[in-house]
C-alpha cells in the first residue's frame, strides 16, 4: 500500500508518494532509506534503525482515500479518483531508465 504525505527536513517541506510502512502516524515521523530508495520502494521494505527519520506534517492520501481535515481533525474520507494511476505512474518512474540511484 502507498501513501502520499508531507514532511519536513530541516527548514524544507517535501511531499511525495512512498510505501505506507514508512509512516508512523502515531509518532508523527516518516522513515527514509539512506540508499537504494527504488529497491526499498518496490519491495515495501520495513524501515530499519539506520534509516533517516523526519517529521510528518500530514498524510494526504492512503489506500485510495483522501484524508480530509476539519478544524484540525480527520473528517469523513472522500474517494480520490485515479489514485491508482498516480501510484502506477510513480512505480513506473522508479523503474524507468531516467532514475539512477
Query: Which residue would you say has higher pLDDT here, 30 or 95?
Result: 30
Contact of 55 with 31, CB cutoff 8 Å: no
List beta partners, residue 23.
30
pTM of the model: 0.61
What are the tens digits of pLDDT across the range 46-91? 999 999 999 999 998 876 554 555 455 554 444 443 344 455 555 5
Query: Which residue would you say has higher pLDDT here, 32 or 2?
Result: 32
Instruction: Name the grid cell of 82.
Output: 485515479
What are the tens digits of pLDDT across the range 3-39? 889 999 999 999 988 889 999 999 999 999 998 888 9
> How far is CA 35 from its chain centroid?
16
**How far is residue 46 from each of residues 28, 71, 98, measured CA to CA in Å?**
17, 33, 25
Amino acid at each position: 500500500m502507498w501513501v502520499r504525505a508531507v514532511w519536513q527536513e530541516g527548514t524544507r517541506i517535501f511531499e511525495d508518494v512512498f510505501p505506507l510502512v514508512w509512516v508512523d502516524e502515531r509518532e508523527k515521523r516518516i522513515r527514509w532509506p539512506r540508499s537504494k530508495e527504488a529497491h526499498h520502494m518496490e519491495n515495501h521494505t520495513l524501515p530499519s534503525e539506520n534509516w533517516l527519520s523526519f517529521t510528518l506534517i500530514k498524510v494526504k492520501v492512503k489506500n485510495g482515500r483522501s484524508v480530509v481535515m476539519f478544524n484540525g481533525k480527520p473528517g469523513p474520507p472522500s474517494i480520490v479518483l485515479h489514485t491508482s494511476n498516480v501510484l502506477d505512474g510513480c512505480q513506473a518512474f522508479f523503474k524507468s531508465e531516467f532514475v539512477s540511484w
